[in-house]
Amino acid sequence: MAKVLTSRDESYAQWYNDLVLKADLAENSAVRGCMVIKPYGYAIWEKMQRVLDDMFKETGHQNAYFPLFIPKSFFSKEAAHVDGFAKECAVVTHYRLKNDPDGKGVVVDPDAKLEEEYIVRPTSETIIWNTYKNWIQSYRDLPILVNQWANVVRWEMRTRLFLRTAEFLWQEGHTAHATRQEAIEETETMLKVYAKFAEEWMAMPVVQGYKTANERFAGALETLTIEALMQDGKALQSGTSHFLGQNFAKAFDVTFANQDGKLDYVWATSWGVSTRLMGALVMSHSDDNGLVLPPKLAPIQVVIVPIYKKAEELERINKVVDGLVVRLKSLGISVKYDNDDKRKPGWKFAEYELKGVPVRLAVGPRDLENGTMEVARRDTLTKEIMPLEGIETKVQQLLNDIQDNIYKKALDFRTANTTKVDDYEEFKRLLDEKGGFFLCHWDGTPETEERIKNETKATIRCIPMDAPEEAGQCMVSGKPSNRRVLFARSY
């Protein structure tokens, strides 16, 4: 059948967009920059949410919900934050429409102008710290370990499905602590949660590290990040965890009486991942035939397709498959038996390949005679005939193997595309020729960082946590450096 996707070689960007649309993950909406997340895409997001939510709860967090709107004045309270966030935002200025006096639809009622405009939240530090002020009096009220699942809006001029949209879905954790140390530990704990989720569930290896001052969240003292490498050699920032110090507590006057009865400002963190992870998932594993999903996040882990000509053949297949479906489900495997008569097997094979279903079982009359099934795995596109007897445990093992295999494949790709470079000219050349991650010495100044960014479009993705001490010289300035940092072009 005809290829439905542009190939990655032809245009990676077009391949990505084709795939998101054709695999029914999401589409653009009538509202500029806002997407519709379609049921199949949302089912993956729900799986992500469920796993992350469980991980947050295991680490002691509770969910809550704060208002969508933020009074404009709140943004001015934290100086760095206002510069970083309060600019490209959706602004609510009125609260009523009225019938158009000319009789054509509705118009904004000029009499219903808000005294103070509301901003649709781009992130919720300000409204939440304004709330925490009333929740916190003493050390007994601390820590507050709260997370919110919400939509946020950042007015983006150039948008791409999942990767950069005006509205997106995310979770934002906002915690309050009695001590600096405890807040720092929380920041690190949550980064580790994100890294574990990325690697064990998304099968996506990530580099954990610290952002440079330039790249920090607006208002943070330290931003920790997980950075993943996409197949086109660009980095994707996949989750961040911020140590906010006492900045927001000071901005919103949130103090607590410590055990000695002395007042101090509260220490803060915030951390988030978003529907951007959907883009990361797509770009980490998928191929020119469609999605490749890690079994742990696939809405359908196994699809069974009957091959038949006559109705009575289908009936016999149905009987065998019905039992298998029960056995697979009892192992906690999500399975779809697609015996829809309106579609041919070839169409179904292509459809489930496009949608990244990890394992496909096919069964025809001859299989029934032989007591076998054809088992196809999505990651390697290989097929094998297996005995029907006990196939459910084989499938379970296969799902684990696929999960491991796509992680390993992504890790091998990253290893092959991580280059140590000591010379700036070579850096520039390899950045264009090969792309990927680069480990280089940097003199630690924002000026050098800025120059590299302007000249190459590569940024410091992070100072890796596990970067070994290594004496060297900045590849640009020649000044001393004591560890390599991670450079890449990025999404």
Q: Does 87 bind a second copy (CB under 8 A)?
A: yes
Bridge partners, 420 (sequence order): 439
Q: Tally Cβ neighbours within 10 Å of residue 116.
A: 9
Does the footprint of a second copy cover residue 118 (CB under 8 A)? Answer: yes
Q: Does 344 bind a second copy (CB under 8 A)?
A: no
From 3, 10, 64, 480, residue interacting with a second copy (rule: CB under 8 A): 64
Whole-angstrom Cα distance, residue 452 to residue 460?
9
Q: Is 479 in the site for a second copy (CB under 8 A)?
A: no
CA distance 431 to 429: 5
306, 363 Cβ separation under 8 angstroms: yes
326 binds a second copy (CB under 8 A): no
Cβ count within 10 A of residue 50 = 11
232: its two tokens? 């086109």
Q: Residues 6 or more apart from 486 whose CB is under 8 A from it?
A: 207, 209, 227, 235, 437, 438, 439, 460, 461, 462, 463, 464
Placement of tokens 């949209």 in the chain: 165
Residue 480 preceded by cis peptide, ω within 30: no
CB 331: neighbour CB atoms within 10 A? 12
| 349 contacts a second copy (rule: CB under 8 A) | no
Among the listed residues 1, 30, 311, 471, the single contact to a second copy using CB under 8 A: 30
Instruction: Pick from 310, 342, 425, 433 the residue near a second copy by CB under 8 A.
Output: 342
Does residue 301 touch a second copy according to CB under 8 A?
Answer: no
Which of residues 51, 55, 92, 411 is near a second copy by CB under 8 A? 92
Query: Which of 86, 307, 363, 474 is in the footprint of a second copy by CB under 8 A?
Result: 86
Is residue 175 at the binding interface for a second copy, with CB under 8 A as the rule?
Answer: no
Burial class (CB in 10 A: 0-12, 13-18, 19+), 383: exposed
Q: Residue 59 in 3-state DSSP?
A: coil
Decide whether 108 or 381 has the Cβ nearer to a second copy.
108
Q: Is residue 141 near a second copy by the rule CB under 8 A?
A: no
Q: Name the one range near a second copy by CB under 8 A: 85-93, 323-331, 412-420, 433-441.
A: 85-93
User: Which of these segments, 148-156, 171-179, 197-205, 330-338, binds a second copy (CB under 8 A)?
Assistant: 148-156
Q: Which of 10, 46, 322, 412 binds a second copy (CB under 8 A)?
A: 46
Number of residues forming the site for a second copy (CB under 8 A): 64
Interface stretch with a second copy, choices 128-136, 203-211, 264-272, 466-474 (CB under 8 A): 128-136
> Is 472 one of the binding residues for a second copy (CB under 8 A)?
no
**Residue 329 interacts with a second copy (CB under 8 A)?**
no
Q: Please answer whether residues 107 and 100 qualify as being in contact, where contact means their C-beta atoms are separated by less than 8 angstroms.
A: yes
Stretch (H or E) spanning 57: helix 39-58
Three-state SS at 2:
coil
Q: Which is nearer to a second copy, 78 or 227 (CB)?
A: 78
Residue type, 232: D
Residue 137 binds a second copy, judged by CB under 8 A: no
Nearest to 214 by CA among 443, 485, 446, 441: 446
Q: Which stretch binds a second copy (CB under 8 A): 56-64, 239-247, 346-354, 413-421?
A: 56-64
Tokens describing residue 94: 């009125």
Burial class of residue 20, CB neighbours in 10 A (0-12, 13-18, 19+): buried
Residue 88 lies near a second copy (rule: CB under 8 A): yes
334 vs 405, beta carbon nearer a second copy: 334
Contact set for a second copy, span 365-394 (CB under 8 A): none
Contact between 131 and a second copy by CB under 8 A: the answer reads yes
- Amino acid at position 253, single letter: D
Read off the tokens for 426.
Answer: 């070579």
Please list, in sequence order, all residues whose beta carbon lies within 8 angstroms of the beta carbon of residue 236, skipping any fewer than 6 positions away: 163, 227, 228, 229, 230, 276, 279, 280, 283, 490, 491
487 binds a second copy (CB under 8 A): no
Kindly give, in sequence order, each residue whose CB lies less than 8 Å from that of residue 115, ignoring residues fewer than 6 positions away. Answer: none
Closest of 233, 227, 170 to residue 199, by C-alpha: 227
Residue 231 beta carbon to a second copy: minimum distance, rounded to whole angstroms: 26
d(CA 229, CA 408): 13
Between residues 71 and 233, which has the closer beta carbon with respect to a second copy?
71
Q: Which residue in 48, 161, 163, 169 binds a second copy (CB under 8 A)?
A: 169
Residue 321: in which H helix or E strand, if any? helix 311-330
Output 4 or 467, the one with its CB closest to a second copy: 4
Nearer to a second copy, 171 or 372 (CB): 171
112 vs 385 by CB, closer to a second copy = 112
Min dist. Cβ of residue 386 to a second copy (A): 31
> Does 140 interact with a second copy (rule: CB under 8 A)?
yes
Among 78, 167, 353, 379, binds a second copy (CB under 8 A): 167
> Which range touches a second copy (CB under 8 A), out of 26-34, 276-284, 311-319, 473-481?
26-34
Residues lying near a second copy in the complex (CB under 8 A): 27, 29-31, 34-39, 42-43, 45-46, 62-76, 82, 86-98, 104-106, 108, 117-120, 127, 130-131, 134, 140, 146, 150-151, 153, 155, 167, 169, 342
